[in-house]
């Protein structure tokens, strides 16, 4: 399958959108804590990655998982990049069929 420029453009836009919560936390926006919790907890708690990787990478507390290592953030970011890529490919294919 040949990936055209439209797939890459959509991938970049969708990936940036999915990484906005953690970017807002890093910049210091105070209202971004709840979206950041969703950004962290959707991939690691719903898929079971936090319990599989153990407490050296994730601490599971009252409000969800807390990343403790660089590998934890890489896994979370990788999950959202995979989701972004899948959404961009599906959306381009659906738009080509119309």
Mean pLDDT value across residues 16-21: 95
For residue 1, what pLDDT is reported?
Answer: 53
For residue 54, what pLDDT is reported?
Answer: 86
Mean pLDDT value across residues 56-68: 88
Q: pLDDT > 70: what percent of the chain?
A: 97
Q: How far apart are CA 33 and CA 17, in angstroms?
A: 16
pTM for this entry: 0.87
State the Cα angle at 30 between 27 and 31, rounded to 5°.
Answer: 115
């Amino acid at each position: 399958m040949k990936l055209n420029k439209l797939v890459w453009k959509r991938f970049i836009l969708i990936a940036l959108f999915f990484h906005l919560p953690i970017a807002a936390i890093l910049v210091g926006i105070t209202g971004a804590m709840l979206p950041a919790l969703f950004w962290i907890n959707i991939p690691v708690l719903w898929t079971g990655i936090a319990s599989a990787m153990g407490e050296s990478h994730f601490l599971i507390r009252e409000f969800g998982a807390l990343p403790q290592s660089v590998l934890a953030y890489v896994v979370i970011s990788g999950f959202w990049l995979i989701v972004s890529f899948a959404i961009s490919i599906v959306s381009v294919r659906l738009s080509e069929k119309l």
